[in-house]
Amino acid sequence: MRPASERRRELLDTAAEVFAAQGYDATTVRRIADAAGLLAGSLYHHFDSKESTLDEILSAFLDELLAGYATVLAAGLGPGETIQALVTESFREIDRHRAAVAIYRKESRHLQDQPRFGYLADARHRFETAWIGTLERGVTVGDFRADLDVRLTYRFVRDTVWVAASWYRPGGQHSPEEIARQYLSMVLEGIASRTRTRT
């Protein structure tokens, strides 16, 4: 682990920004250097390689996210409240690591086969356990509909949350908590009017 100097963190942020905008492979180190105001070779004073830069961005984000999830799960809430807390925590994470989330969504699929990025598959598996476990508990307890396909619902909720990173802009008119509230309202209660009762 390198010493995390101020300049280093700055470079890491601009790299993440460029990766998110252009895609990792489409991004050249010269492009990152341009955006940061130095020459390509100078980046190697701070980082070992382009790949390790990506690695650092992703693992920092995932560490924080998993820690947040762990806190929520340890709180001993009911299934419905746990889902709400997980969603809210996710939107906060999007707010703080917007670029990292975008990169994660675009690249994790084909990165996780690489040994170096094996932790991506680990993280994915932990998410799955957390969400699906909570959903199943919710169905048993009666918080959620009994006819749910839990795996399908998991993907539904997960994707719904994370895609927000592709259009969310921090400092906009909606706070993370506000967006979480609206999303939860749709996911939990649906968008159909309640004036017509279902059969």
Residues making contact with a copy of itself (CB under 8 A): 21-26, 80, 106-107, 109-110, 142-146, 148-149, 152-153, 155-157, 159-160, 163-164, 166-167, 179, 182-183, 186-195, 198
146 contact, one of DNA, a copy of itself, none, CB 5-8 Å limit per kind: a copy of itself
5 binds, among a copy of itself, DNA, none (CB under 5 to 8 A by kind): DNA
d(C-alpha 154, C-alpha 158), whole Å: 6
Provide the minimum distance between the beta carbon of 63 and a copy of itself in the complex, in angstroms, as a whole number: 24
Write the CB contacts of 40 (distance below 8 Å, at least 6 apart in sequence).
Answer: 28, 29, 30, 32, 33
Provide the residue type at 178 as one letter: E
Please measure the distance between the N-terminal and C-terminal CA atoms of the chain and give it in whole angstroms. 59
Q: How far is the CB of 29 from DNA (least distance, A)?
A: 4
**Smaller CB separation from a copy of itself, 63 or 177:** 177
Q: How far is the CB of 111 from DNA (least distance, A)?
A: 15
φ/ψ (deg, to 5) at 34: -55, -50
Distant-in-sequence, close-in-space partners of 165: CB < 8 Å, separation ≥ 6: 94, 98, 101, 102, 105
38 binds, among DNA, a copy of itself, none (CB under 5 to 8 A by kind): DNA
